[in-house]
């Protein structure tokens, strides 16, 4: 700039110099001319010369003036650039998005924050359509229409509003906008200046807070206030922050009157007196306030009074360790009246059951699902002679080991026990025999709750030894002839069909030998019924002695005997008849030798026998076979009489 100014001065001086040189060269410029110029030059020449000088001076002046104006303009342009850069810097460091949109919806300005928010570089947005690029399609038409009316001056500017913008990665961000209309010097609208803050997270937080508040209101109003558990919430000074309706009902209190009150004072003046043991209640609760570091749990009995019912409550409280009421305490009061009544009823039932168990003739053992003994009565211990230290172990396995050593068949016993433990729904009843000859009836069933849940198994043991003896004796009397001891007609009726079925199944013969004592009526008439009974007993004895283990000897009638011989054909049966008659004769000889029967009586008594055989697979009835044996027996009897008559 200084060089340009010097050049301008040089041009002006150069003009003057040229003018003077031209005068000197022409010989028109001398010192005398300078002193006497008025007399030497014509006015016209002087005027021309002066004009030239003036023009050169004017050119120099104008050049200098232009230089100054050019310098000032350049300085102004540089200042404008600096101001624009400064303004852009201000826009870029602003914490909000700033953008300008012209009437053609083109983005003419957007700051760095706006670019960062939307995920674009500045050159990607400049000149782009604001609505097509950034406004979601769902609201684009509506927002564009409003903008058009705004640019036309048809609607007033909404200085504050919210709407979403689409980022480069197609995410939506909710922006809170503040708008300003831009006008030129003539007042014409030339665009809109947007400034916006991203409130997406704020709105999400507000929505989360609203939902949290709604949940809290629902928790307090819909859940806690409708809960059947009474609740006290205390702050760090143990003042009542909140109680629910159940607590009001249990304690007979009014929530509005006690919120903000000191709980310790309330206990002393209003609360402890409602309990059966007021001092214990106050002492226990105050201890939690003095050392608010532990969980407390106890039961308390509320007495009936003004505005409250008698009930049992379970107190459960713990310190509040975090949040708004950290350092305070929360107390729960659960109504356990039904449980206490049930416990009392259960205690009564348990006492009755224990009394019944102890009075029972059965030994009773109850085992849980893990094999631990729950209960037993003294009769169980007595029956199995179990030492107390074994029962004190409460282990079913140890007791079983002690029991099995007393059993005639311990393996079968244990197998049944394991089966019932495996199949929990099974019930069982059987008899077990002990080494000492006793017989126990064993019954077992699962123990289940009201809902069907499995709790374990109960075992009943009843000593059936005497009952078994009496039963065997009775059964013996029912199926045995009381005089001779052999089976009677009743036993025959019960077993004959089984023998026939067995013969049919296996294809075996069954032989029937019908026997009759000869002249027994004469013996009874002449010698008396005692002698007759002696003959009947001797006959039964002889038949049993000569029969096989599988044979069945039956007193079929007064003086008739029947021998059933399974798996025996007719020939084998006839051979057996000879054994039976030989055995009877030997018995008579023994009686004669013993002097209990006279020789004459012995010679007059005989045993006539007839044989019939059942063929397997035939349709012949048992009655018909028996009739055949009976007929054969009478034929043998008649043959004896004929033989005697001809002798």
CA distance 647 to 638: 14
DSSP label at residue 271: I
Superfamily of domain covering 480-646? Reverse transcriptase/Diguanylate cyclase domain (3.30.70.270)
Q: Tell me whether strands 240-243 and 229-234 are parallel, antiparallel or unpaired.
A: antiparallel
> What are the tens digits of pLDDT across the range 311-367?
999 999 999 999 889 999 999 999 999 988 888 777 766 666 666 666 678 889 899
Average pLDDT for 251-271 = 93
Question: pTM of the predicted model, to two decimals?
Answer: 0.38
pLDDT of residue 472: 73
Superfamily of domain covering 360-468? PAS domain (3.30.450.20)
pLDDT of residue 316: 95
Domain 94-204 CATH class label: alpha beta
Average pLDDT for 203-224 = 74
> What are the tens digits of pLDDT across the range 432-475?
999 998 999 999 999 888 888 898 999 999 988 887 777 777 77
Is the pLDDT higher at 158 or at 431? 431
pLDDT of residue 596: 87
pLDDT of residue 183: 85
Is 50 exceeded by the pLDDT of residue 37? Answer: no
Is 50 exceeded by the pLDDT of residue 35? Answer: no
Average pLDDT for 414-431 = 90
Segment holding 316, helix H or strand E: strand 311-319
pLDDT of residue 21: 54
Is the pLDDT higher at 396 or at 643? 396
pLDDT of residue 52: 64
Rg (CA), the chain: 66
Q: Tell me whether strands 439-448 and 428-433 are parallel, antiparallel or unpaired.
A: antiparallel
pLDDT of residue 17: 60
Is 80 exceeded by the pLDDT of residue 62? Answer: no
Q: DSSP for 119-133? A: T--HHHHTTSBHHHH
The beta strand positions in 391-517, using DSSP E, are: 428-433, 439-448, 454-463, 510-517
Is 90 exceeded by the pLDDT of residue 225? Answer: no
240, 260 Cβ separation under 8 angstroms: yes
Can you count the helices (H) and strands (E) in the chain?
Answer: 25, 19
Is 60 exceeded by the pLDDT of residue 85? Answer: no
Of the ranges 21-30, 195-204, 555-564, which one carries the lowest mean pLDDT score?
21-30
609, 584 Cβ separation under 8 angstroms: no
Is 50 exceeded by the pLDDT of residue 373? Answer: yes
Q: Which two tokens stand for residue 217?
A: 């209101």
pLDDT of residue 574: 93
Q: DSSP for 79-109? A: HHHHHHHHHHHHHHH-SSEEEEE-TTSBEEE
CA distance 408 to 405: 8
pLDDT of residue 289: 94
Is 50 exceeded by the pLDDT of residue 44? Answer: yes
168, 119 Cβ separation under 8 angstroms: yes
Q: Residue 165: which pLDDT band, with cuts at 50, 70 and 90?
A: very high
> What are the tens digits of pLDDT across the range 464-523?
888 777 777 777 778 888 899 899 998 998 889 889 999 989 999 999 999 999 888 888
CA distance 325 to 337: 31
Helix, strand, or coil (residue 260): coil
Which residues fall within 8 angstroms of residue 563, CB to CB, at 6 or more apart?
Answer: 512, 513, 515, 543, 547, 551, 552, 553, 554, 576, 580
Percent of the chain at pLDDT exceeding 70:
82
Q: Residue 563: which pLDDT band, with cuts at 50, 70 and 90?
A: very high
Helix, strand, or coil (residue 315): strand
What is the chain's mean pLDDT, rounded?
Answer: 84
Q: Which two tokens stand for residue 497?
A: 């069909």
Q: Residue 562: which pLDDT band, with cuts at 50, 70 and 90?
A: very high
Is 70 exceeded by the pLDDT of residue 231? Answer: yes
Q: Residue 644: which pLDDT band, with cuts at 50, 70 and 90?
A: low
Tell me, which fold does domain 225-341 have in CATH?
Answer: Beta-Lactamase (3.30.450)
407, 434 Cβ separation under 8 angstroms: yes
Q: Is 109 left (phi over 0), alpha (psi -120 to 50) or beta?
A: beta
């Amino acid at each position: 700039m200084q060089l340009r100014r010097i050049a301008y001065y040089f041009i002006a001086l150069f003009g003057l110099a040229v003018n003077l040189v031209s005068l000197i060269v022409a010989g028109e410029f001398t010192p005398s001319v300078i002193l006497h110029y008025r007399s030497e030059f014509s006015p016209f020449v002087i005027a021309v010369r002066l004009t030239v000088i003036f023009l050169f001076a004017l050119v120099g002046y104008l050049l200098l003036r232009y230089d100054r104006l050019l310098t000032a303009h350049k300085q102004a342009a540089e200042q404008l650039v600096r101001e624009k850069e400064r303004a852009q810097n201000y826009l870029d460091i602003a914490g909000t998005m700033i953008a300008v949109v012209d009437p053609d919806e083109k983005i003419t300005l957007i700051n760095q924050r706006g670019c960062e928010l939307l995920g674009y570089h500045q050159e990607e947005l400049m000149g782009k359509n604001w609505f097509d690029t950034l406004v979601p399609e769902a609201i684009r038409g509506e927002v564009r229409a409003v903008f058009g009316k705004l640019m036309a001056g048809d609607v007033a500017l909404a200085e504050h509003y919210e709407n979403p913008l689409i980022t480069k990665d197609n995410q939506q961000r909710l922006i809170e906008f503040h708008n300003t209309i831009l006008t030129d010097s003539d007042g014409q609208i030339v665009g809109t200046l947007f400034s916006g803050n991203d409130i997406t997270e704020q709105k999400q937080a507000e929505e989360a807070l609203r939902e949290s508040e709604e949940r809290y209101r629902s928790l307090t109003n819909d859940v806690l206030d409708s809960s059947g558990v009474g609740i006290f919430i205390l702050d760090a000074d143990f003042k009542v922050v909140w109680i629910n309706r159940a607590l009001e009902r249990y304690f007979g209190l009014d929530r509005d009157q006690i919120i903000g009150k000191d709980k310790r004072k309330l206990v002393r003046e209003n609360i402890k007196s409602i309990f059966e043991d007021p001092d214990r209640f106050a002492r226990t609760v105050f201890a939690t306030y003095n050392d608010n570091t532990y969980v407390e749990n106890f039961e308390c009995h509320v007495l009936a009074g003004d505005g409250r019912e008698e009930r049992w409550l379970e107190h459960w409280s713990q310190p509040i360790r975090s949040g708004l009421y950290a350092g305070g305490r929360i107390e729960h009061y659960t109504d356990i009246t039904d449980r206490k009544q049930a416990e009392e009823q259960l205690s009564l039932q348990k006492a009755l059951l224990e009394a019944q168990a102890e009075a029972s003739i059965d030994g009773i053992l109850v085992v849980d699902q893990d094999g631990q003994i729950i209960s037993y009565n003294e009769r169980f211990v007595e029956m199995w002679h179990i030492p107390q230290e074994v029962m004190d172990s409460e282990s079913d396995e140890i007791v079983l080991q002690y029991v099995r050593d007393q059993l005639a068949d311990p393996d079968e016993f244990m197998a049944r026990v394991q089966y019932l433990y495996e199949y929990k729904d099974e019930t069982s009843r059987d008899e077990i025999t002990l080494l000492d000859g006793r017989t126990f009836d064993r019954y077992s069933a699962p123990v289940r709750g009201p809902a069907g849940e499995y709790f374990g198994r109960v075992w009943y043991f009843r000593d059936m030894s005497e009952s078994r003896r009496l039963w065997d004796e009775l059964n013996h009397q029912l199926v045995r002839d009381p005089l001779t001891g052999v089976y009677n007609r009743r036993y025959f009726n019960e077993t004959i069909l089984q023998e026939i079925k067995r013969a049919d199944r296996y294809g075996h013969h069954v032989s029937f030998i019908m026997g009759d004592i000869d002249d027994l009526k004469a013996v009874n008439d002449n010698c008396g019924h005692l002698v007759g009974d002696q003959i009947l007993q001797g006959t039964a004895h002889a038949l049993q002695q000569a029969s096989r283990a599988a044979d069945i000897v039956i007193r079929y009638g007064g003086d008739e005997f029947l021998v059933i011989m399974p798996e025996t054909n007719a020939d084998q049966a006839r051979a057996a008849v000879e054994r039976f008659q030989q055995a009877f004769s030997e018995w008579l000889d023994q009686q004669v030798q013993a002097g209990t029967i006279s020789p004459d009586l012995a010679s007059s008594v005989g045993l006539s026998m007839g044989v019939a055989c059942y063929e397997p697979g035939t349709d012949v009835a048992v009655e018909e076979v028996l009739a055949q044996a009976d007929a054969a027996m009478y034929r043998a009897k008649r043959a004896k009489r004929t033989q005697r008559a001809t002798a």
